[in-house]
Structure 1
Amino acid sequence: MELKKSTGELKDGMHSACAFLNTDGGWLIFGVAPTGLKILGQQVTETTKREIAQAIAGLEPAVDVKIHYVDVPDRPGNQAIAIHFDGWVWGERPHTFHGCPYYKVESTTKVMPHEMYDERIRAHQPQIYAWESQIANDVTLADLNEKHIRGCIRLGVEGGRIPASAMSAPIDDTLAKWNLLKNGNPTNGAVMLFSDKISEYSQFRLRMARFLGTDKNEFIDNQRAEGNFFDLLDAGMAFFFKHLNLSGKITTHSLQREERLEVPYHALREALINSLCHRQWEKHNLTGSIAIYDDRIEIANPGIFPPQISPESIKEPHESYPYNLKIAEALYKSTYLESWGSGAKRIMDACREQGVDEPTWRWDGGFVIVTFKRPGKTFPEQGANTQPVPNQHSTSSIPVPHQFSTSSLPVKTLIEKATDDFMTVWQLAELCELKDIRYFRKNYLKPALEEGAIERLYPEQPKHPKQKYRLTEAAKEWKNKKIPEKPKNFPKK
Structure 2
Amino acid sequence: MTIDDIKALIAADESRTLELKKTTGELKDGMHSACAFLNTDGGWLVFGVAPTGLKIIGQQVTETTKREIAQAISGLEPAVDVEINYVDVPDHPGNKVIAIHFDGWVWGERPHTFHGCPYYKVESTTKVMPHEMYDERIRAHQPQMYAWESQIANDVTLAYLNVKHIRGCIRLGVEGGRIPASAMNAPIDDTLAKWNLLKNGNPTNGAVMLFSDKINEYPQFRLRMARFLGTDKNEFIDNQRAEGNFFDLLDAGMVFFFKHLNLSGKITNHSLQREERLEVPYHALREALINSLCHRQWEKFKLTGSIAIYDDRIEIANPGIFPPQISPESIKEPHESYPYNLKIAEALYKSTYLESWGSGAKRIMDACREQGIEEPTWRWDGGFVIVTFKRPSKASSEKDANTTPVSNKQHTSTIPVPYQYHTSTIPVPHQYHTSSIPVQTLIEKGTDEYMTALELADLCSLKNIRHFRKFYLNPALADGAIERLYPDTPNHPQQKYRLTEAAKEWKKNNSPKQS
Give the corresponding residue for 2:113.
Answer: 96
Q: Which residue of 2 aligns with 1:466?
A: none
Matched residue type, 1:142: A
Aligned CA distance change for structure 1 residues 91 and 110 (closer, same or farther; 3 Å): same
Distance (Å, rounded) in 2 between the aligned partners of 1:231 and 1:375? 28
1:380 Cα deviation from its structure 2 partner: 13
| Structure 1 match to 2:225 | 208
- After superposition, the C-alpha distances for 1:315-368 in whole angstroms (9 at most, x for unaligned) are 222221111111111111111113532211111121122222211111112111
CA distance in structure 1 between the partners assigned to 2:26 and 2:245 by the alignment: 55
Q: Does the 8 Å contact 1:207/1:288 carry over to 2?
A: yes
> Would the aligned equivalents of 2:279 and 2:397 in 1 still touch at CA under 8 Å?
no
Cα offset, 1:301, TM superposition? 0.7
Contact 2:264 2:397 (C-alpha < 8 Å) held by counterparts? no
Give the C-alpha shift of residue 193 in structure 1: 0.4
* Distance verdict in 2 for CA 1:201–1:354, change over 3 Å: same
Deviation at residue 44 of structure 1 after TM alignment: 2.1
| Corresponding letter in the other structure for 1:72 | V
Residues 180 and 121 (structure 1), Cα distance of their counterparts in 2 relative to 1, 3 Å cut: same
- One-letter amino acid matched to 1:249: K
- What amino acid does structure 1 have at the position aligned with 2:329? E
Q: 2: CA distance between counterparts of 1:355 and 1:315?
A: 17
Give 5+ residue unaligned stretches, structure 2. 1-17, 399-412, 415-515
SS in 2 for 1:42: coil
Partner residue in 1 for 2:151: 134
Comparing 248-257 with 4-13, greater Cα deviation is found at 248-257
Q: Distance in 2 between matches of 1:28 and 1:303?
A: 34
Letter in 1 for 2:37: F
User: How far is the alpha carbon of 1:159 from its aligned partner?
Assistant: 1.2
The answer to whether the aligner puts 1:112 opposite 2:125 as a matched pair is no
Task: Give the distance between the partners of 2:272 and 2:367, measured in 1 at CA.
Answer: 21
**In the alignment, what sits opposite 1:397?**
none
TM-score (norm 2): 0.72
Q: Partner residue of 1:7?
A: 24
Identity level (%):
93
Structure 2 Cα separation of the partners of residues 339 and 93 of structure 1: 24
* RMSD of Structure 2 on Structure 1 (CA): 2.0
Specify the code of the residue in structure 2 equivalent to 1:97: F
Q: Residue deviations 1:92-143, cap 9 Å, x none?
A: 1111101111111110001111121122222222222221111112211111
Q: Distance in 2 between matches of 1:323 and 1:256?
A: 43
Matched, 1:156 2:173: yes
In the alignment, is residue 69 of structure 1 matched against residue 86 of structure 2?
yes
TM-score (norm 1): 0.75
After TM superposition, give the deviation of residue 378 of structure 1 in Å. 8.8
Q: Does 1:52 align with 2:69?
A: yes
Give 4+ residue runs of structure 1 displaced > 6 Å after superposition.
378-381
Q: Partners in 2 of 1:367 and 1:141 — Cα distance?
A: 32
**Equivalences for 1:165-180 in 2 at 5 Å?**
165-180=182-197
Residue 269 of structure 1 pairs with residue 286 of structure 2: yes
Displacement after TM superposition at 1:179 (Å): 0.7
The one of 321, 344, 350 equivalent to 1:327 is: 344
Does 1:27 find its partner at 2:44? yes
Residue 145 of structure 2: SS of its match in structure 1?
Answer: helix
Whole-angstrom CA distance in 1 between matches of 2:209 and 2:89: 63
Question: Which protein has greater RCO, CA pairs closer than 8 Å, 6+ apart?
Answer: 2
Residue 336 (structure 1) aligned to one of 347, 353, 356 = 353
Which of the pair has more CA radius of gyration?
A: 1
The runs of 5 or more residues in structure 1 that have no matched partner are: 382-406, 409-493
Counterpart-to-counterpart distance in 2, 1:257 and 1:58: 72
Measure the CA separation in 2 of the matches of 1:265 and 1:187: 31
Shift of 1:271: 0.6
Query: Does the 8 Å contact 1:195/1:228 carry over to 2?
Result: yes
TM-aligned CA deviation for residue 379 of structure 1: 13
1:388-441 C-alpha deviation (Å, 9 max, x unpaired): xxxxxxxxxxxxxxxxxxx89xxxxxxxxxxxxxxxxxxxxxxxxxxxxxxxxx
Q: Distance in 1 between matches of 2:146 and 2:306?
A: 26
Contact 1:294 1:378 in 2 (8 A): no
The answer on 1:37 being equivalent to 2:62 is no
Counterpart of 1:294 (choices 311, 320, 325) is 311
- One-letter amino acid of the structure 1 residue matched with residue 340 of structure 2: Y
Are 1:18 and 2:55 counterparts? no
* 1: CA distance, partners of 2:67 / 2:215: 57
Contact 1:5 1:31 in 2 (8 A): yes
